[in-house]
A and B are shown apart, each in its own frame.
Chain A
């Protein structure tokens, strides 16, 4: 038993540097995908809340189409499909585009709900004071919407981390690809995928905890 454990730990130790380099790429893909998703999601949410029907329709059509397509299909479209059209994207760029496009659709709904969930009286109080649309939004609505947006967004972040592993299919050397490779060379898939799983889990827990702490701080500060 101890011998077995020692050998597993030894094996993990020898592959850890490679896994860590993979983790960096996983974080890179996640971070870039998240950034695109947040920006595009915010723009789409703005469209949905717009008084112009055309913008609302654009956002609705986008969200309905994109969220019904598997991320893997989007990834292949970005990597192979666009390549065929003469727009060759790197693996990481394709992943950023696919994750960004897909999660923008989900975040759009979360953002919209967060903004609409702020009590109507808040907007009215801001209006009655003569705060303009911009300062009313930035100073009154947004700070309240953020607390509603954060928990469901953190959930989606965990999904982005997990979906980043799909890049294994297009040859990007992320954490998933490294564990796949290691399991093939060592013939110890169980050990290697368990290690990969643990690292994914640690990544999510660290980020989620940090966000949770921050949220709690804000809430406590506001009484």
Chain B
């Protein structure tokens, strides 16, 4: 494992019962790299990133996160010790589709809880850090509010602060904007963009193709039980090489093209580099895909 690899998957197979969700998935994520994971609904994108922080176990292969190694349950290794599991998870920040803020705690306490309980920070230290994070994300004026009093966009930004408060080495995002009203998507994407600019290593499951193209270094297309295609974001999104990736991207564009207007539909999927690929349609079509993904 080369020194700047933060996350590495090697031959990972995941099953739910007898059903194989994906098999032989290998992937390296380098420091400060932004990886976008795309693919059809049910392909196993969420499951893939949840294996990285062990919210899901997996059967075969190995996942390495910095110095930590997790083997598949059928690799014949002793299971991860509880302390090691916790240490692994403190290296990884996760942002969920449904925010999952703690409803009984104020915004401030949501951000402070883990640093206090896991890292043993004092109340004052944790509060100072939370304050700083909330300021960065433009929510310090809402610090005493409770999650229910916030908009979805605000909740998701707090959830990002909560994860950042643990000072993770890598951030996982599982469709962070797909539960949001269209007008709230931008503020969350802006927060993620800022992390990317600051050099955070990130793995982002998303249906926001424009955004993926903008901030991702690498795009991974998950489909049909594995990685269908993987490569530099602009290449994969504009000129996919495999039939599977091509047909997925075509469907995404055709569906949304049909909704956004005749000229988008007429451009035959529109991912050829000559016509600007994904750059011309407005952001709205990708949100429609997100809304579809909700069901």
Q: A residues within 8 A CB of B98?
A: 121
Q: A residues within 8 A CB of B163?
A: 128-129
Among listed B84-92, B226-234, B272-280, interface-contacting one: B84-92
Q: Given the interface contacts A128-B53, A130-B118, does A223 sit within 8 Å of B148 by beta carbon?
A: yes
- Contact A124 B55, beta carbon cutoff 8 Å: yes
Cα separation A119 to B114 with both chains bound (whole Å):
19
Within 8 A of A (CB), among B149-166: 149, 162-163, 166
CB of B151 to closest CB in A, whole Å: 13
Q: Counting CB contacts under 8 A, is A153 at the interface? A: no
Q: Counting CB contacts under 8 A, is A222 at the interface? A: yes
Cα separation A92 to B271 with both chains bound (whole Å):
81
User: Contact size class for B?
Assistant: 20 to 34
Q: A residues within 8 A CB of B211?
A: none
- Contact B55 A139, beta carbon cutoff 8 Å: no
Q: Counting CB contacts under 8 A, is B104 at the interface? A: yes
CB of B205 to closest CB in A, whole Å: 14
Q: Specify which of A121, A122, A128 is in contact with B92 (CB 8 Å cutoff).
A: A128
Q: How many CB-defined contacts (below 8 Å) exist between A and B?
A: 67
- Contact A130 B87, beta carbon cutoff 8 Å: yes
Q: A residues within 8 A CB of B166?
A: 129-130
Q: Given the interface contacts A124-B96, A124-B100, A144-B104, does A129 sit within 8 Å of B89 by beta carbon?
A: yes
Cα separation A121 to B95 with both chains bound (whole Å):
11
- Contact B103 A132, beta carbon cutoff 8 Å: no
Select from chain B the residue with minimum beta-carbon distance to A121: B100
Q: Specify which of A139, A144, A223 is in contact with B145 (CB 8 Å cutoff).
A: A223
Q: Given the interface contacts A222-B148, A223-B145, does A129 sit within 8 Å of B118 by beta carbon?
A: yes
Q: Counting CB contacts under 8 A, is A64 at the interface? A: no
Q: Counting CB contacts under 8 A, is B248 at the interface? A: no
Q: Counting CB contacts under 8 A, is A181 at the interface? A: no
Main SS of the interface on chain A?
A: helix
- Contact A122 B148, beta carbon cutoff 8 Å: no
Which of B82, B98, B104, B147 gathers the greatest number of chain A CB atoms within 10 Å? Answer: B104
Within 8 A of A (CB), among B112-159: 113-114, 117-118, 145-149
A contact set with B: CB distance below 8 Å: 119, 121-122, 124-125, 127-133, 135, 139-140, 143-144, 221-223
- Contact B146 A129, beta carbon cutoff 8 Å: no
Select from chain A the residue with minimum beta-carbon distance to B119: A130
Q: B residues within 8 A CB of A223?
A: 145-149
- Contact B89 A128, beta carbon cutoff 8 Å: yes
Q: A residues within 8 A CB of B90?
A: 129-130
- Contact B103 A144, beta carbon cutoff 8 Å: yes
Q: A residues within 8 A CB of B149?
A: 223
Closest 3 CB pairs of A and B: A223-B146, A130-B90, A129-B114
Q: A residues within 8 A CB of B146?
A: 221-223
Per-position 1/0 for B72-94, Cβ under 8 A of A: 00000000001000110110111
Which of A124, A125, A143, A222 gathers the greatest number of chain B CB atoms within 10 Å? Answer: A125
- Contact A222 B103, beta carbon cutoff 8 Å: yes
Cα separation A144 to B148 with both chains bound (whole Å):
14
